[in-house]
Amino acid sequence: MNLRALRSVFRTLTITLFFESQFVLTQTGNPIRDSPADPQASPVETSPCIQPAPLFSASDYEGPLKKLVVYFSRKPEIKTVHPHLRPGLTVCALDASDKFRLFAQNSIEPVTFVGAGFDSGLAQAKDDDPSFGQGTTGYAKRYGAALADSVSGDFFHTYLFPVMFRQDPRYYRKLEGTTTARLGHALSHVFVAESDSGRKMFNFSEWLGATSSTALSNTYHPGKSRGLGPASRRVGLSIAGDMGFDVLREFWPEIVHTLKLPFRDRDHQLVRMDHEVPGIEP
């Protein structure tokens, strides 16, 4: 596969994302909050929900290499929530536009580009996709393919399938309990996820996302082995990698503490954000 073909793949993906973004933006109207047609009708209250704490920012860090450390610290937090819930409260669900913004934010994090550079370097050293060749040109092709792997995988995992199956693409950190219980909770996330309604459901986004991104990658990784066996191994590696990242998400607060990174103590309690009552000024 030459560089021209790789650019074609990126152009197709960009066009797809553009039209998807236009679609979700047209769906962001929230008729539930409109005033009732009958002005005499009593407003219907919706259940209160709470929002996760904000991401780490530069103001939370008081040590050296500020931007670098904050960038790396944000990545495990972007799709993580801390569900310390009181009875009657739920985590606010994400609509289609929220999920698209979450996908976009996660994709443009600097760590995404650094990770693609690291993966393409390993691929170059092992001479994966030998048709890419070596040298600067070969590395550029591998870097583009690695970045496409990351972005397309996140598109399927965070936006497309979560919208289709009404599933929350975020990881719900347990924080409490024994290390074994928390480890089991992290490892089980590839099988059990939260629905938009707050109920447990099978993690369709994980398995269909890994399968779809693997199938798509065959179009711009000409050197990869074809067939059910190699594809199944790549899907398995993708899911195993996500399991490892979920473990990182679960124990990230302890890792920050162990490394003695000078972050200010953050309150991981969720912030209550009651929905507005239709027809009533906030």
Asked whether residue 52 is domain-assigned, the answer is: no
Asked whether residue 42 is domain-assigned, the answer is: no
Distance CA 151, CA 194 (A): 23
In this prediction the pTM is 0.71
Asked whether residue 51 is domain-assigned, the answer is: no
- The percent helix, strand, coil of the chain (3-state, each to 5) is 55, 10, 35
Asked whether residue 48 is domain-assigned, the answer is: no
Domains contained in the chain, number: 1
Domain around 90:
3-16+61-273
Distance CA 260, CA 201 (A): 37
Asked whether residue 248 is domain-assigned, the answer is: yes
Asked whether residue 69 is domain-assigned, the answer is: yes
Asked whether residue 217 is domain-assigned, the answer is: yes
Q: How many CB atoms lie within 10 A of CB 138?
A: 18
Asked whether residue 43 is domain-assigned, the answer is: no
Residue among 98, 120, 128 nearest 30 (CA): 98
pLDDT digit of tens for each residue in the chain (282 aa)? 444 544 554 454 444 444 444 443 333 333 333 333 444 444 444 556 777 666 555 555 666 666 676 777 778 888 988 766 566 677 788 999 999 999 999 999 888 999 999 999 998 998 888 888 889 999 999 999 999 999 999 999 999 999 999 999 999 988 888 999 999 999 999 999 999 988 999 999 999 999 999 999 888 888 777 778 888 998 999 999 999 999 998 998 788 777 666 555 554 444 444 433 333 333
Cross-strand pairs, 167: 195
Query: What distances in angstroms separate CA 177 from CA 31, 56, 77, 168, 180, one per listed residue?
Result: 41, 24, 20, 23, 8
